[in-house]
Structure 1
């Protein structure tokens, strides 16, 4: 019933969106008048929704993935692209809200709700992966084919716009959309302005460089070097881009093959945990005592959390998409708001934060800068505090719930610990139920009594059972059983060593934000290496044109930059005030050695040499970086594959250990103790 209602809700929302799109297209076709005011209001709403969504980390991640899909399938200007992305986001959020509303109305239980929400997350992730990754995988080879045709037709006509037009017919459907937009840019009244608009929505860096090079040749003309028999600067540029493109295609292909089928393996514990538990309880009813105990509860939570975590780890390992520039000026910094708004928060943060001008403060500040994260040291400390407090609350609440569940299991569990295999008959079940009720009644009396002795308890049990002799084996057996349950109930409280374990876990959680910043720093370093290699490719092409100066070269680098974009923008703004001072400040802002070497050559181009002379040996540098990157790709595939394999197998191993092996050992030990007590 629940699945049917949710499916109906999803279909209803999808049908409504499809109907709106159909009516919109129908009006365009038959020329019906449009409601301009309504459309204008909707456009404003979508633009505001886009900006608001980009300010939150969770919605911004979804926003970027949807944008990636939309800009690959079609070409828009930035305004239209944001509107289309916002429309898609509104549809996704509407479906999610309908599902949540259905869950609130039907109230199927926490377990079923958990399964539905997990399934929704995985289904959404798989759908986005299917659309985006599949299209990216098809787009790169189509770009390569387009470059091959472009080079062939350009060699025949020596006219870039004609070569572009002829190449469109030989490209695939995904690349044809992009090639048509590039051709429209070439044939427009103002190609440079249209090129800047296209760079805002281009799906990847290769298309940005290709379109920029084509516009440059269209505006400035090609440069032929007959003396050294190097041929056309445009064709050499296309060859350089093709080499880099080949490396990227091979890297993605090998990595995808190495990581195939690994992500679904992490879902096995989530899918089969409950069926395995039900089968084990059916064969060994006593196992229910373990699964209902505190250890069983915490083990199940760990299995689900660990499996979901490993799934997203593998998804992250498989992600090799281009890094896109995101301005961070409009992001909502909740740490900043809490820190500045509440004085008590500032006082608490001051206690845990390192003092200013200390070594610890300087290290954290440098880490934040290297990770390119918009944080202050105090905000980072606040983030650590909030994460630690939330973890502390969750762990303490979970431990209290586990103790309560363990106590309830001892009082109300009907199947005795001596029943190891097979199901019980109705008569046996009724007998066990009476025994459980009797034990619970006796435990209640023991809890209410101020003091008691073993002889007194056995006498009470004998009286309740209608047995005259206290030494009767049945009385002794009932006494042992009741005292075992009583001990479990009395020990179901929060212990000091449990608090110590929780504090140790919280202590480890405290360092997670710093660890994530360190990982982000390492990832950013690799992004910087890739970007410097891209800069070398761009410079090797632009240096052939005599009209290219230092400022023009900086503008080109800024257009295709992501990691170094903000320092380059700052350098361009300060260039007119003093070129050497601006470049010196750029070198100080970025401590990456490979980029500083480019800046040093730019300094020479201002005072002593031309751009072509300063970068005369850049081809050797570029070839070195190509070989270095090829070696890195080989090591990266091996490392990612090994780590992903370990991440995919570990949830299954965790399921077998915590959900099968540990319960068997636990129950076997308990049953052995019962047998020894019987003797």
Structure 2
């Protein structure tokens, strides 16, 4: 039995066993319910202790799986990478981190095995193997992102509940640490561990040191603000404002910001979540489309088996990659962009190699040139983690990869052309549509004769007509002049096709153009990131307003302390704010003026001007006293801006997400079908003219 049939039978048997088990379970439950007089739901409720025991055993199983995965040579590094990504979400709970890591890694391995099985069963072609593997990698990325996003959203929702509980217990105790402790006791496990960590740092003798350590491990910005504000209130005391308690008012603002962030992320992910699947759908749809076209339009077989079909298929492959990258950029929220910035790019390690460093230096502009300054500013505006030399290394790698990719596509097209000439059934002028078995046999024999003639001719076996006569004589075929002429014309046409299947000057030129486009693609991506970032800048400035209105109420708050808070909370403005903090000791006015130049976004510049006024002219509270009055207006304005931003991203996402499907339908089916139909119609017309 062939491997494919065997795998199909095994898969069918497993599915049948699973279905039979489920049917037996349902029938047993109903029969037991009839005997006991209870309905099926009541009977299942009695099994809940067993289910809890089963969940406990499942957790133990995941821990065992994790211990096994970290020992496997290849999978261990991947497992550790997943571990590092989800560790901040489940801080202080090692078992939960290991269980989630084992779940994600197991799902990834399962997807890999299913992809390999799908390739062996349905896509034995090499090009489709590559495309299916690409789809598996993309699905793996989507799986990890969805699981991490779900955990992050759950943490934010639990944080809102914790803040509400802290408000309730603060009314009872009027003590920050006790309120946080009581709220942690009734909170969900994921957020309770963070709340307990905040309680520990509040009651510690080294509160400031522990607070700085918590800032490094906090899963999001809002946890940092909650921990920091709780620490300040415990250290310096609460204050009664016209709105009530300063601490409770701060908690209300933090809760409002979290709710707005949850709504924004949920709507953005809802609008874009299915587009990535749609973008990679052509990977799975290409083979069924091709099979349908081959079965209903036999003339399409020549297109799909030839170099043109291979070129279009490769183009769709590249388009899917580009669309997936662009969709990931659209889906990135501000927190995700900050995590990517903290991640170490691989170029940092590669630049340690002296040979690579010398090559990159030859392409880079001088450190003191205007071009270097321009690119460095572009990287900072895009909030990119790359340095200028790392960027040029990436540009060179993409240039070489683009050049080699297109060159390999052209080489593959030539190989397919030669293979099609040598092995495809040779049709005569009167053969149309689907060939009968007799016609297919004659066409195969004709191809074999032509291949033998071409091989002898290429080996220097003499004159072409002598070779044709000898080959026809050896096959016992007719040696009439008409047959000799037809065979000679056919072989000459094939020889010309084989001789033309070489790399030409225009193909090499296209390869260099592809390399040039690959070289400039990181710069284009930076400009796209800048445009995406500008949509997030106003959002972050509005969050700064809420944060500064909270901080300005503390009597001992200074401008430098405010900058430290902005540095912890910022994502888009982190680089310029960090530079300002480093230069603040040398001169506050000069550092703030430089901050205005580096982050030339008008709403943020207004914040910096307030800080400049608070340095030497007016108190901090007076500099930010109008933020509270404008809070309601700004909040409503932000809702409208969020709606516009999400609609804009969703519109771009729809165009990008459906582009591969449009390419598959039109470039891989409709246009080739029309072209082949027109070509076949012209052949019909020529034959009709000859008959008449």
Report which stretch shifted further, 414-423 or 268-277: 414-423
1:324 aligns with 2:333: no
Give TM-score, length-normalised by structure 1: 0.78
Q: For residues 404-423 of structure 1, what are the structure 2 equivalents within 5 Å?
A: 404-414=415-425, 416=427, 420-422=432-434
Check if 1:501 corresponds to 2:501: no
- Out of 431, 439, 443, which is 1:432 matched to? 443
CA contact 1:142–1:171 (8 Å) conserved in 2? yes
* 1:458–1:479 contact (8 Å) kept in structure 2: yes
Contact kept in structure 2, 1:461 and 1:479, CA below 8 Å: no
Does the aligned pair in 1 maintain the 2:165–2:183 contact within 8 Å?
yes
C-alpha distance in structure 1 between counterparts of 2:593 and 2:415, whole Å: 66
Structure 1 pair 127–138 and aligned structure 2 pair: CA distance change class (3 A): same
Q: Distance in 2 between matches of 1:354 and 1:569?
A: 26
Structure 2 CA distance for aligned equivalents of residues 91 and 641 of structure 1: 31
Q: What SS does the aligned partner of 2:497 have?
A: helix
CA distance, structure 2, for counterparts of residue 582 and residue 150 of structure 1: 38
Deviation at 1:585, TM superposition (A): 4.7
- Compared with structure 1, are the counterparts of its residues 75 and 83 closer, same or farther at alpha carbon in structure 2 (3 Å cutoff)? closer
Cross-structure match for 1:270:
283
2:560 matches 1:551: yes
Which of 160, 183, 186 is the matching residue for 1:144?
A: 160
Checking the alignment, whether the CA contact within 8 Å between 1:266 and 1:310 is kept in structure 2 is yes
Question: Displacement of 1:423 after TM fit?
Answer: 6.1
For residues 334 and 591 of structure 2, what CA distance do their matches in structure 1 show?
A: 32
Alignment deviations for residues 274-332 of structure 1 (CA, whole Å, 9 cap, x no partner): 23223333444443321121111111112233234434433443333614355578965
Tell me the number of residue pairs that the alignment of Structure 1 and Structure 2 aligns: 627
C-alpha change, 1:118 and 1:545, in structure 2 (3 Å) is same
Matching of residue 403 in structure 1 with residue 419 in structure 2? no
Between the aligned partners of 1:605 and 1:63, the Cα distance in structure 2 is 47
- What residue in structure 2 maps to residue 655 of structure 1? 664
CA contact (8 A) 1:66 1:85 kept: no
The 5 Å alignment of 1:64-103 reads 66-72=83-89, 74-76=90-92
Q: Distance in 2 between matches of 1:342 and 1:142?
A: 48
For residue 434 of structure 1, report the CA deviation from its aligned partner: 1.1
Aligned position for 2:43: none
Aligned: 1:240 with 2:253: yes
**Alignment correspondent of 1:37:** none
Name 1:35's counterpart in structure 2.
Answer: none
Query: Is the contact between residue 396 and residue 502 of structure 1 (CA under 8 Å) also seen in structure 2?
Result: yes
Q: Flag the structure with more relative contact order, 1 or 2, with Cα contacts below 8 A and sequence separation at least 6.
A: 1
Name the residue aligned to 1:601: 610
Contact in 1 for aligned 2:468/2:488 (Cα 8 Å): yes
Closer, same or farther: CA 415–17 of 1 in aligned 2, 3 Å: farther
The RMSD of aligned alpha carbons is 4.5
In the alignment, structure 1 residue 164 sits paired with structure 2 residue 180: yes
SS at match of 1:267: helix
Residue 665 of structure 1 is matched in structure 2 by 674
2:480 and 2:419 map into 1 onto residues whose CA distance is 32
- Answer yes or no: is the 8 Å Cα contact 2:294–2:300 preserved in 1: yes
- Secondary structure of residue in 2 paired with 1:667: helix
Partner of residue 32, structure 1: none
Separation (CA, whole Å) in 2 of partners of 1:161 and 1:379: 46
Provide the rounded CA distance (Å) in 1 between the counterparts of 2:263 and 2:342.
31
**Is this contact kept in 2: 1:157–1:163, CA < 8 A?**
yes
Q: TM-score, normalised by structure 2?
A: 0.76
Q: Distance in 1 between matches of 2:524 and 2:132?
A: 32
Match of 2:401 in 1: 390
Structure 1: distance between partners of 2:280 and 2:329: 16
Cα 1:583–1:337 shift into 2, 3 Å? same
| 1:487-536 deviation line (CA, Å, top 9, x unaligned) | 32232122222223333333322211211222333344455444333332
The answer for unaligned runs of 5 or more in structure 1 is: 8-14, 26-41, 54-58
